[in-house]
Each structure stands twice: as structure tokens, then as C-alpha cells.
Amino acid sequence: MTDMDQFKRTYFEECGELLGDVESTLSEMRDAGATADGLNAVFRGVHTIKGGGGAFGFEDLVTFAHGYETLLDMLRDGRVDCTTEIVDLLLRANDIVAGLVGAAESGESLGEDYGADIKSKIEAAISGDAPSDAAASQVDVPQNASSADDGGIKTYIVEFIPNLDLLQNASEPLLLIRQLGSLGEIVSEVIADKVPSLDELNPEEVFLTWRFILKSDCSEEEIREVFEFVEDDCVLKISVDSEVVPEAAEDSEPEAVESTPAADVEPKVAQVKTAPPAGQAPTKAPAVSSMRVDLDKVDRMVNMVGELVITQAMIQEQLRNSTVEMSAELERGLEDLTHHTRELQESVMAIRAQPVKSVFARMPRLVRELSETLEKEVKIVTSGEDTEVDKTVVEQLGDPLMHMIRNSVDHGIEMPDDREAAGKPREGTVHLSAEHRSGRIVISIQDDGAGINRERVLGKAREKGLIGKNDVLSDEEIDNLIFHPGFSTAQTVSNVSGRGVGMDVVKQNIRNMGGRINIDNEPGQGTKFSLSLPLTLAVLDGMVIGVGEEIYILPLTNIIETLRPVEKDVNALVGCFDVLSIRGEYVPILYVRDVFGIKNAKQDITKSLVVLVETEDSKKIGLVVDEMLGQSQVVIKSLEANYQAIHGVSGATILGSGRVALILDVIGLSDLIGSQSDQKNLEKLVVTKSKSNDDIVAEDRTQVV
């Protein structure tokens, strides 16, 4: 990879972040009104994107961003009023910038007129009010001179000594000078004694330094703020001069520096030859609150900590099993080690944890685009975007969420007129929220649309042969049909959704992450999808279970309860599988020893344990195992990296003994039951027995968990 590619990659990464920040700032402004800070933040973001874009020669991006930036600048100055329409326009403009950045990254062309309508709206907004863009850019540096005769006016001497590489960081001295000029009356001097001869001159480096005499009532802080962005790229000296030092070169044209630095500046060199004393008055370094680290490095650390956890468990186990008596010191040391390892692991996982904001921030744009295409009025409200979850989860969350939002806007929210007729506000709302709940992250997507039309879903399912003609399904079962592969209820197939891919893929994605998805459907009122996901895909809290000589890990989140069955509760269903009656419910049971072909396992079910586990759709199955060995946090390892996926096994881990144990995949296992018999029979089986039997049955059971 060349340096240039490296820079580009960093630039695009940065753009992604900036766009997200701008987006959320604008969204806030849309709801709470514009603030100077907000506008400044947006301006800075757009400016940085434009600057980088210019450095890499992304013409379209720069042209568009320039207009956008001009409008923002005028908003900051109050030359254009910041109305809701304008904020909406800014949001749309931001989408276009995002599109252009995306196009620049992938190298594809979006066509000449991409964003042209927005661009013309921006131009209209600019020219509609105060001075035109052209006029604005011609504003002279000492423009505000007239208003400078107030009391409290101080004379500042500002020395601006840029580092050689200032331009490479996409900072433009002219803009800074102009901004400085807006603070008061300014006289600028250019010190060009460091400019080398033409053949030595590198046009990408800055050899000029500036000295300004600024008469203004502003504070030193405000001057520093002007140079905020270049703080690290220059030396800035500000002093207050009591006596006025006038007459120096005016009308300097630093803007020419970029192209032909030497030529234009030459005449003034003689006049001001005050070489700045070097190495003095360093600018205050900004407090470092975050740093960028290569993800590979973090991953390596996560892996190593995983190994450490295993090694620690191993040492502990070895010592416990050894005949050597442990001294108190050793015991304490071991305890400390356990404690520290756990803490280390948590902190490392915390490094990888990210707020879901990065994913959530992409959704408003999607909703805007969708509602425009579909001619609906939809707003999106997000909450809990600071909820943190492991980076791997965040990464894999994007696609499913996008599908679901698309689904909500397309299928959930009705047309504005229909909504009005139904007594709802014309504008539909999609509420996207995230929260931590019992060691998992729960993300819900709630719309106030029409809800799932069960009649239509049922009809469609019959028509497509997904269910039998005379099958009777519960409401919940009907709702869940939308996750069926090849199912789509859209009356017309739009290009937004309704191609029959989507919800089943969503379910698959969520499943692969060890998550569950739930639908809460209230016809006429809306639909709520809840995703429950593990906080990390790297570690898992599991129950260690034994079957024969094998040891397996069962994810704790799947387990409902464990019980020792009595003989009369276990019934064979001819030709299918055994069922266990639990509090009036018949639950299919699966003998782990049989499906995994384990020898030496207990054959007598009354001596075995049944672990009742729950799959998604709240289906329950009982797993018959020999014993429970305890609870443990395990590091998840992939089987697929060197081998292949195994049905009923989601991964592997390494036990304290150094041996490998497989992690059971409850959903995969429940499919194994399904394959043994007709799936539909299974669903019918979960019949509720009469309540009177309950108490008798419950008494016979020893509850372990």
C-alpha cells in the first residue's frame, strides 16, 4: 500500500466519522433549534471534508462542499436565518456529501447531476438573502475597521508561524486570516525571508510566516479560536501591545501563496525582516482524550487476553488438582491473578466497545431518502445511541438494522392521507432505541404504522404454500411468518423492499450473532421489532455440562431451567421423539448422547438431567445431559477457521485443562429435532394440559437451576 492509499483510507475513515457527527448535530438543531456551537461544529466538519477532498482531487465533492460551506458560513454570520427548512436543506446536503464521499471512495461516478437540485437550493438560499458567494469571498481583510473605535480596544500582535506541512493538512491560511480580520481592524505583515529559491521551493510547503496587528475588543481566547484547527501545525504567539504599531504592508495577498508563493511575496520581503525567535512560546497542546489505534492491534490484544484467561484457569485447575498443598501466599496470589485477569479482560473488551451511535447515525439519512422515494412523511427518533457494545456486534448490526428500518418505512408507515384518515398525524414516526438489559443489548425498532396485516400475511402464506390450507396459526405465529424465506406482503414490489429478501436474511444475521428477534404487532397501531444481542462475540457466559466423557458449553442465555425428570413425565411419541411434560406443557426432548453419538453416556433418563432451553420464537426444547459441572465464562473460538461449521455447534472454547470444549448451538440443535419429524407436528405438540395437573407434576421435580 502506498502512502497515498494510506492517507486516503484515513481520510475516508475520518469522513465517515465527521459525516456522522454533522448529521447528529444537524438532527439536534432540527429539533432544538440552531446554536452557534452547532453551526461551528458543522462548518468545521464540512470544511475538513472539503479540504481533504481537495487534496485528493475529488472535484465533485469539493465543488459541492464549497457551496454547502458558504451557506454554513453565512448562517454562522447570521446573514442567512437558520430556519427549519434550512436545516432540512443542510441535512439533505450532508447526504449528498456522504454520497459523494462514498463515490470517491469506491471510485464510481454518480453522474453530473447528482445532488444538483440540492445544490441549486443551496445557491438559492445563499443568493436569496445577503451578499452573494462571490461578494463574500472578496471581502477584504481589514473590513471591519470602521467599527473599531470602541472602548476596551486592545492591540494584539499575533505571530502566526505555520509549520512547513500546514498545507498538507488541508488548512488554508487565507481563510484563517480572513476570519482573524473579522475580529477587528487588522494589519498584516508577511515575513517571507524563509522562502527558498525557486528551484528549491516545494509548492506544498509553507515558508511564509505572518505577523498581524489586530485592533479589537475581542479576547485572546477568541483569537486562539481562529487558529483552533491549525494549533498543532503552527506556532502561534499572541501578545498585547500597548503602543500602536501601525504602518506595515497592507493588502498582502496570501491567497496566492498556494500556487506561486515566491513570486507574489517577493516585494514585501525587504520591508519586514523580523525573523521570529524560534522555539519560544509553544502553543498549548490540546488535552488528548482519545487516540486512534489500528484495529489489528486491539484484536491481537483481545486474543492475547483470551489466552491469558485460559492459562490462568489452567494454572488454577492444575494447582487445585495437584497433591501439593497450597500455601496461603500462593492461594492469595492465585486469587489476585484471577481478579486481575478478569479486570484486564473487561478493560480490553471495553476498548473494543463502541456506542451504537455509529450505526444509528446512518439511519436518519436512510429514512429521509426512503420517505422521499415513497412520498411518505416519516421522521426517525433515536434514543440510547450511547449504549456500548463490542465493535464486532456494531459492525454486523448495520445491515439488519437497515433492512428493518426500510421494512418499517415501506410496509409499516402508511401514506400521509391514509394516516390522516385513521386519525394519526400525517408524519409517521420510527423510533430506534438501544439499551442494556441483563447482560445483553436490546435494540428496538418501533413504528406507529399500520402494523402487520395478519389477514394478508396468512393469505399470502397460503397462496405461496408456506403453510397448509387448513392450518390454524396463533397471532404470534402469523407475525413470525414474515421471517419466512421468500415472503413479502408488499402489494407492489417496490425497489425499496419487497423483493422477498430481507426479513429472513435479517433473522439469519441476528441468529448468527447469537441474537434473538421478537415482533410485537398491534394492527392499526404499529409494529415493534426487538433485537436482543450479546454484548460481545468474543466471550460468553456458559454452563459447563457433561455427557459421557465429553464436555460441552451451553450458553447461559438460552437456559431456562434444569430439572431431573421422573419416569412418568417422559413419553415416547411413536415414530418421532420423546416428550417431557413440564407444568402442563409437552416439550420435545433431545438426547445429546444420541445426536452427537457419544458412548458411555447415561442411558437412564431419571438419572440424567434435562436442561430446558429456549430458542427464538420462544420454542422450548429439553436437552438430556448427564451432569452439570458449573458455570464459566469462556472465550469463543472459531471451528470454521481451520475446519468447518458443525451442525448443533456454534464454536469451541478451551477449558482450564487445556482441552477443547464445544459450544452448543441451541437453535441448531432444535433443528435436529425438527429434521427427525415433521415440523408442523412439532408445533402442534406444544399443547397446554389442564391446569389441575400442574401442582402434582411440579412436586416431583428437583430443580437445579
Partner 1 sequence: MESVAEKVESGSSDDGEIHDSETLQFITFRVGEEEYGVDIMSVLEIKGWSETTRLPNSPEYMKGVINLRGVIVPIFDLRLRFSMGDTEVTKTHVVVIVSIEGRDVGILVDAVSDILTIYEHDIRPIPDVDESSRSEFLKGLVTVNERMVSLLDIEKLFHVGELENIEGIE
Binding site for partner 1 (CB under 8 A): 303, 306-307, 310, 550, 595-598, 637-639, 641-644, 646-649, 652, 654, 658-662
Short-list 555, 529, 525, CA closest to 651 = 555
Give 393 or 663: the residue with its C-beta nearer to partner 1.
Answer: 663
For the CB of residue 598, give the shortest distance to partner 1 in the complex, in Å: 8
For the CB of residue 391, give the shortest distance to partner 1 in the complex, in Å: 20
Give 307 or 567: the residue with its C-beta nearer to partner 1.
Answer: 307
For the CB of residue 685, give the shortest distance to partner 1 in the complex, in Å: 25
For the CB of residue 343, give the shortest distance to partner 1 in the complex, in Å: 20
Helices (H), 354-413: 357-360, 363-374, 391-407
Q: Beta-strand (E) ranges in 15-92?
A: none
Residues with Cβ within 8 Å of 339's Cβ and at least 6 positions away in sequence, in order, are: none
For the CB of residue 637, give the shortest distance to partner 1 in the complex, in Å: 5
For the CB of residue 636, give the shortest distance to partner 1 in the complex, in Å: 10
DSSP one-letter code for 686: -
Please provide the DSSP assignment of 594-612 as one string: HHTT-TT----GGGSEEEE
For the CB of residue 645, give the shortest distance to partner 1 in the complex, in Å: 10
Q: Cα dist. 554→383, 399, 649, 663 in Å?
A: 33, 28, 10, 6
Give 311 or 518: the residue with its C-beta nearer to partner 1.
Answer: 311
For the CB of residue 341, give the shortest distance to partner 1 in the complex, in Å: 15
Give 38 or 648: the residue with its C-beta nearer to partner 1.
Answer: 648
For the CB of residue 663, give the shortest distance to partner 1 in the complex, in Å: 11
Give 305 or 450: the residue with its C-beta nearer to partner 1.
Answer: 305
555 strand-pairing partners: 542
Contact 544, 632 (CB under 8 A): yes
- Kindly report the number of other CB atoms within 10 A of residue 301's CB atom: 15
Contact 389, 351 (CB under 8 A): no
Contact 46, 97 (CB under 8 A): yes
Give 180 or 310: the residue with its C-beta nearer to partner 1.
Answer: 310
For the CB of residue 670, give the shortest distance to partner 1 in the complex, in Å: 15
Give 132 or 676: the residue with its C-beta nearer to partner 1.
Answer: 676
Give 187 or 636: the residue with its C-beta nearer to partner 1.
Answer: 636
Q: Is the dihedral of CA 459, 465, 469, 474 positive or negative?
A: negative
Give 354 or 676: the residue with its C-beta nearer to partner 1.
Answer: 676
- Collapsed DSSP state (helix, strand, coil) of residue 519: strand
Torsion angle defined by CA atoms of residues 77, 83, 88 and 93, in that order, rounded to the nearest 10 degrees? -20
452 strand-pairing partners: none
Backbone torsion region of residue 11, taken as left when φ is above 0, otherwise alpha when ψ lies between -120 and 50, otherwise beta: alpha
For the CB of residue 653, give the shortest distance to partner 1 in the complex, in Å: 9
Strand (E) or helix (H) holding 354 = strand 353-355
Angle of helix 84-106 relative to helix 3-32, nearest 10 degrees, comes to 160
Q: CA–CA separation, 24 vs 657, rounded Å?
A: 49
Give 659 or 684: the residue with its C-beta nearer to partner 1.
Answer: 659
For the CB of residue 620, give the shortest distance to partner 1 in the complex, in Å: 22
Cβ-in-10-Å burial (0-12, 13-18, 19+) of 524 comes to exposed
Q: CA–CA separation, 53 vs 61, rounded Å?
A: 6
Give 403 or 637: the residue with its C-beta nearer to partner 1.
Answer: 637
Contact 131, 79 (CB under 8 A): yes
Give 231 or 627: the residue with its C-beta nearer to partner 1.
Answer: 627
Please report how many Cα atoms fall inside a 13 Å half-sphere around the Cα of residue 582, on the Cβ side: 23
Q: 442567512: which residue's cell?
A: 80
For the CB of residue 639, give the shortest distance to partner 1 in the complex, in Å: 6
Terminal C-alpha separation, the chain: 55
Give 175 or 301: the residue with its C-beta nearer to partner 1.
Answer: 301
Backbone angles phi, psi at 209, to 5 degrees: -125, 160
Cβ-in-10-Å burial (0-12, 13-18, 19+) of 16 comes to middle
